[in-house]
């Protein structure tokens, strides 16, 4: 991903946590950054702290509004060429005592359905850009699930799979597809306690390592900091062998 000043970047869930951190990092590099989220007061505070940044109110769970939102954003920012699907929710679930359908539906809508719909709505515009990037945010838990949060982990595994297929289908276009898979990071994703949990990676350290990977590994498919390796490569999974097999398998299937 080109980190120079030529990008116009839309970040859903950009008002807090990793989303805000990335928004501010890209903004400092001179990119035009638009953050999107449900809480206008939160977005306004981020923009006030980062003059020149822009904000748009968006409830990603309102699937029917995503196509209209995409059309509006492209109209306001015709140079838009980067989408970072950061918005996400993570809630514990006790399936033994009984699943909560509202948690399941909200998690799937936010973490899975919304990125798919918003990406699909923006792809026609992105394919017309000289260079464009879709960055889907998954998790180390897409590969080694945390049983405490089963629906969250399932949605992240699904987005990982979808990102691989999307990347393959866009291989002959100007659109790059990246996957950002964080480890346990000091944010408030699961509550205030997480922001100070010593077991979690400090947010500033995570952001610094991510930005370094983006700057130094332009061909990376997955943006993986060292702290996520134990989750990503549990069981000695070999990513290079997987992608080699994936390319061979899909090429063979397409030839029949």
Concerning whether 152 is annotated as a catalytic residue, the answer is yes
Closest CA to 152 of 115, 183, 217, 108: 108
Q: How far apart are CA 153 and CA 63, in angstroms?
A: 21
Pairing of the two strands 222-223 and 175-180: parallel
172: Cβ–Cβ under 8 A, 6 or more apart, which residues?
none
The first and second tokens of residue 176, run together, are 């790059």
* Cβ-contact 157, 107 below 8 angstroms: no
Q: Tokens 């399932």 correspond to what residue?
A: 154
Closest CA to 105 of 154, 37, 157: 154
The first and second tokens of residue 132, run together, are 């464009």
Write down how long the chain is. Answer: 256
DSSP state of 185: B
Q: Tokens 């008002």 correspond to what residue?
A: 15
Q: What is the DSSP string of 97-115?
A: T---HHHHHHHHIIIIIHH
- Which of these is catalytic: 77, 152, 184, 243? 152
Angle, helices 17-28 vs 203-216, to 10°: value is 50
Enzyme catalytic residues? 152
């Amino acid at each position: 991903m080109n980190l120079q000043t030529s990008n116009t970047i839309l970040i859903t869930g950009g008002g807090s946590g990793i989303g805000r951190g990335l928004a501010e990092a890209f903004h400092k590099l001179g990119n035009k950054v638009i953050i999107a989220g449900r809480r206008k007061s939160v977005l306004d505070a981020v923009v006030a702290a980062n003059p020149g940044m822009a904000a748009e109110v968006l409830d990603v769970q309102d699937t029917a509004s995503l196509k209209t939102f995409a059309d509006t954003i492209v109209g306001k920012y015709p140079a838009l060429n980067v989408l970072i699907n950061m918005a996400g929710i993570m809630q514990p679930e006790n399936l033994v005592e009984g699943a909560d359908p509202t948690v399941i539906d909200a998690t799937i809508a936010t973490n899975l359905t919304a990125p798919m719909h918003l990406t699909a709505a923006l792809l026609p515009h992105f394919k017309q850009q000289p260079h464009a990037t879709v960055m889907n945010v998954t998790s180390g838990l897409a590969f080694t699930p945390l049983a405490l949060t089963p629906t969250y982990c399932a949605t992240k595994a699904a987005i990982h799979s979808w990102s691989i297929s999307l990347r393959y289908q866009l291989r002959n276009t100007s659109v790059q597809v990246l996957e950002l898979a964080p480890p346990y990071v000091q944010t408030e994703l699961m509550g205030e306690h997480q922001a100070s949990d010593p077991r979690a990676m400090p947010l500033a350290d995570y952001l610094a390592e991510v930005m370094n990977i983006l700057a130094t590994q332009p061909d990376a498919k997955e943006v993986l900091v060292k702290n996520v390796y134990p989750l990503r490569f549990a069981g000695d999974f070999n990513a290079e062998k997987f992608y080699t097999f994936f390319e061979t398998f899909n090429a063979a299937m397409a030839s029949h």
